[in-house]
A and B are shown apart, each in its own frame.
Chain A
Amino acid sequence: MLRIKEGGLSTTVQDTGRFGNYHIGMPPSGAVDQYAHRIANFLVGNEADAATLEMTYSGPTLEFEEDALIAVCGADMSPSLDGEAVSTWTAIGVDAGQSLEFQFATEGARAYLAVAGGVDVEQVMESRATYTLIGIGGYEGRTLEAGDELPVGEPAADAQEGATVDDDVVPDYGSEDTIRVVMGLCDYRLTDEGRDVLLGTQWKISDEADRVGYRLDADVDIQDLFEEREQPFGAGTDPTNVVDLGYPIGSIQMAGQPIVLMRDAVTGGGYATVGTVVSPDRGTLAQGRSHETVTFESVSVDEALTIRESWNDQLDALREELLG
């Protein structure tokens, strides 16, 4: 059992996501940075789909009721056990009764705490991921608060204290990010110049950047990027409007400003989407902090497939190394 003493800024139980219900408006949820989530799991002997705690900017304080094996990956929140600093990206042994504490993240936005055996809350539609908008999954469908008690599953027998990964596996969150995008969907609505502006602008991550979407700011009038046309029947009058359609996770929706849709996204709507962030880069963007800047780089679908494949290969190799 994990006893939450302070909830942190926004801490939720997350996993690899809830699938199969997009057509009724259910986004996948799950860890927005799957890279850090999965490595944290592998370090403590869990499979990728075990549930971790996703911590945002400022983590919780929690007490362990039993001995445990944990790993913290992702943004650097300087974890400490009973006041002693502990390593990140490393499996750490915890004694029953010890308290784990975090500081405000110095780099990156989200860290993941994995516990051997996984956070064992009940599944909703085959997933433990929290989706706070309608209050399902995770712990009572909400962010964690003081007093919450989270059950832990049965650890794998051979999980090892001290397991760690090479330095080159750990991302550098502080650097300015290039986010790779496959342009498309409704990008026919953009003028050539509008497309150049989208790809040539340094976008600032706004204060509204969360699990639903990352809103990006710049001194750009979005309507000016669009082709003029007589709006088709049912689309609505604004040039950025289309007949309401499904939004891919990772797509860039042009709703007054570009919004990159994350894992708790609205599943559809009437704003033109003009491209989709390549799947591994969605996690990179999710580590971007408000007021940091990002630029989009257009890649082909073949390049996107190669990027995904090498991301998968890297994680498979780590899984092999850590889980055997």
Chain B
Amino acid sequence: MGESRIERQSLPSPRYEYGADDHVFVELAESMSFTANFKAQAITQEVRGRDLPGIVEVAPSNASYLIHFDPGQIQPDDLIEDLRDIEDEIDLTEYTWEARVIDIPVLYDDPWTHETLMKFRDRHQDPDATDLEYSARINGFDGPEEFIEAHAGAPHMVTMVGFVPGLPWTFQMVPRDQQIEVPKYVQPRTETPSRAVGFGGAFTAIYPVQGAGGYQLFGRTPVEVLDVGQELDTFADSMVLPNPGDIINFRRIDRDEYDSIREEVESGEYGYDIGTVDFEPEEFFERPESYTQQLTEVLD
């Protein structure tokens, strides 16, 4: 039997919404899919390329996108007309991009996020289990071990960056029936360690800085996704590591490796393992398992 494919979704007509006088928000779908996300990426890339007047910000998100503009230079209805034209003209089957594949080592079930999550059991759906135990159970896994293997077993695509600078939302590159889905905390925590790897809805997030958060806590990475001082070489051009369209390979590591990587990061000597691929959505949809395996081969 061949591997399972990812079906292209047929999307509804986009919803064009005014964000007062200076924003247009476009929802491509209410539910998450690679089809909706790739469409958001393709349209926003085209918007950037067209050099429309008065465009201040172009921000793709999971299944939607947001544009901030200066109405002194372009009227919202004219902008929406341009966006409709782009939507009509764009051919998603032809859309490919150069994607970075980034190795993100993760210490799953680490002591820091464990301590945090134990402090906030009263805000959780299942106070008697850990976040990993709960997430494994409701997704039909035997236990955390098997669940971690699935989470680290296939790469994840950055489908949105935001909330705070450098925080990636990533969506695992597997068919829908293998997607993990976990609710957010009943009530958000007031604390989350920096570099925590969390999960909410259908997304993994890496928290760049410590702060509040409502995602289930799975582990912690020793590497930075935000380097304000731009001290690590990888951050020479931008203080933020992930960009929409990047592919992240969560790699399970043990405590010794965590400590040694952390030491290198802190001394500014850590070299990220990043490869570049020409990402072809058609190939990915057709044979996700073998294709993503092939993509991660660019890593050391």
| Chain A residues within CB distance 8 Å of chain B | 19-26, 133-136, 141, 181-182, 184-186, 232-238, 241-251, 266-270, 273, 276-279, 301, 304-305, 307-308, 312
Q: Does B223 touch A at the CB level, under 8 Å?
A: no
Contact A277 B20 (CB under 8 A): yes
Q: Which of B17, B57, B71, B209 contacts A23 (CB under 8 A)? A: B57
Smallest Cβ-Cβ distance to A300: which chain B residue: B18
Give min CB distance, B78 to chain A, whole Å: 12
Nearest residue, chain A, Cβ from B65: A246
Q: Is the CB of B162 within 8 A of A185?
A: no
Q: Please give 14 more A-B residue pairs, beta carbons under 8 A apart, in addition to A25-B161, A234-B202.
A: A20-B57, A24-B238, A26-B240, A133-B211, A141-B228, A182-B20, A233-B31, A236-B201, A242-B30, A244-B169, A246-B64, A247-B66, A267-B162, A307-B21
- The reply to whether B20 and A246 form a contact with Cβ atoms under 8 Å apart is no
Known: A22-B162, A235-B31. A245 touches B64 (CB 8 A): yes
Q: Roughly how many angstroms separate A242 CA and B162 CA in the complex, as a whole number?
A: 15
Q: How far, in Å, is A240 (CB) from chain B's closest CB?
A: 11
Contacts of A241 in B (CB 8 A): 184, 201
Q: Is the CB of B27 within 8 A of A186?
A: yes
* Mask: chain B, 42-64; 1 = CB below 8 Å from A; 0 = not: 00100000000000111111111
Q: Which residues of A contact B282 (CB under 8 A)?
A: none
A268 in contact with B163 given A22-B68, A245-B25 (CB within 8 Å): yes
Residues of A within 8 A of B25 (CB): 184-185, 245-246, 248, 273
Chain B neighbourhood of A19, CB < 8 A: 56-57, 68
B21–A278 CB distance below 8 A: yes
| Measured CA separation A82–B23 after assembly (Å) | 46
- Give Cα A184–Cα B20 distance, bound, in whole angstroms: 9
Complex formed: what's the CA distance from A266 to B188 in Å? 15
Is the Cβ of B18 less than 8 Å from the Cβ of A184?
yes
Tell whether B175 is near chain A: CB-to-CB under 8 Å. Answer: no
Contacts of A182 in B (CB 8 A): 18-21
Residues of B contacting A: mostly: loop
Which chain B residues have a beta carbon within 8 Å of chain A's beta carbons? Answer: 17-23, 25, 27, 29-33, 44, 56-66, 68, 71-72, 75-76, 160-167, 169, 171, 176, 179, 181, 183-184, 200-203, 208-209, 211, 226, 228, 238-240, 243-244
A186 to B29 alpha-carbon distance, docked (Å): 12
- 7 A-B pairs closest in CB distance: A234-B32, A246-B66, A232-B31, A248-B19, A234-B202, A276-B20, A268-B162
Of B19, B44, B64, B228, which one neighbours A134 at CB under 8 angstroms?
B228
A245 CA / B66 CA spacing, docked (Å): 8
Name the B residues within 8 Å of A246 (CB-CB): 25, 59, 61, 64-66, 160, 162
Q: What is the bound-complex CA distance between A141 and B68, given in angstroms?
A: 25
Chain A residues with CB under 8 Å of B238's CB are 24
Q: Does B164 lie within 8 Å of A244, measured CB to CB?
A: no
16 contacts between A and B (CB under 8 A): A19-B57, A22-B58, A23-B161, A141-B228, A182-B18, A186-B17, A237-B184, A243-B30, A243-B64, A244-B201, A244-B203, A249-B68, A273-B25, A278-B20, A279-B21, A305-B76
B30 touches A279 (CB 8 A): no
> B17 contacts which chain A residues (CB < 8 A)?
184-186
**A185–B16 alpha-carbon span in the complex (Å):** 8
Interface centre among A19, A136, A184 (most CB of B within 10 A): A184
> Hey, which chain A residues are within 8 Å of B31, CB to CB?
232-235, 243
Q: How far is the CA of A273 from the CA of B68 in the complex (A)?
A: 16
* Closest Cβ neighbor of B212 among chain A residues: A266
Separation of A42 and B203 alpha carbons in the complex (Å): 47
Contact yes or no, B72 A181, CB < 8 A: no
CB neighbours of A236 from chain B (8 A): 183-184, 200-201
Which of B32, B58, B72, B239 has a CB less than 8 Å from the CB of A243?
Answer: B32
Q: Tell me whether A24 and B209 are in contact (CB under 8 A).
A: no
Give the distance to chain A from B64, nearest Cβ to Cβ, in Å: 5
The contact of A248 among B23, B32, B76, B209, by CB within 8 Å, is B23
Q: How far is the CA of A307 from the CA of B20 in the complex (A)?
A: 11
CB-based contact A243/B162 at 8 Å: no
| Chain A residues with CB under 8 A of B76 | 301, 305
Contact B163 A279 (CB under 8 A): no
Q: How far is the CA of A276 from the CA of B211 in the complex (A)?
A: 26
Chain A residue numbers with a CB within 8 Å of B166 are: 24-25
Given contacts A186-B27, A243-B62, A248-B19, contact A235 B201 (CB under 8 A): yes
Name B176's closest neighbour in chain A (CB-CB). A233
Closest to A246 in B: B66
**Which residues of the other chain, A, contact B209 by a CB distance below 8 angstroms?**
133-134
A188 — nearest CB in chain B belongs to which residue? Answer: B15
Q: Which residue of A lies closest to B22 (CB)?
A: A279
